[in-house]
């Protein structure tokens, strides 16, 4: 998830997000909680299954592996 405006109003749909179920440590994140997680900068190529691609895409955000580490 990525946004330039890091305020609560940047994503009003993201009121809270639960990570629960088959996890050891269920967590509920508010938007501010989510933005406080470690951010990763990455540049990689994006390849779509419909054969188009975009090279050298810059991405900054929370990695899925970082979220998983909090709950597993």
pLDDT in tens, 51-70: 999 999 999 999 989 989 99
CA-CA distance, 62 to 39, in Å (whole number)?
5
Query: Tens-digit pLDDT profile for the chain (72 aa)?
Result: 444 444 545 566 666 688 889 999 999 888 888 889 999 999 999 999 999 999 999 999 999 899 899 999
**DSSP collapsed to 3 states, the chain:** CCCCCCCHHHCCCCCCEEECCCCCCCEEECHHHHHHCCCEEEEEEEECCCCCEEEEEEEEECCHHHHHHHHC
């Amino acid at each position: 998830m990525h946004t330039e405006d890091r305020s609560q109003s940047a994503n009003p749909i993201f009121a809270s997000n639960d990570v629960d179920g088959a996890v050891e440590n269920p967590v509920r994140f508010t938007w501010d909680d989510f933005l406080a997680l470690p951010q990763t900068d990455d540049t990689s190529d994006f390849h779509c299954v419909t054969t188009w691609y975009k090279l050298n895409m810059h991405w900054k955000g929370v990695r899925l592996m970082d979220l998983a580490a909090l709950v597993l």
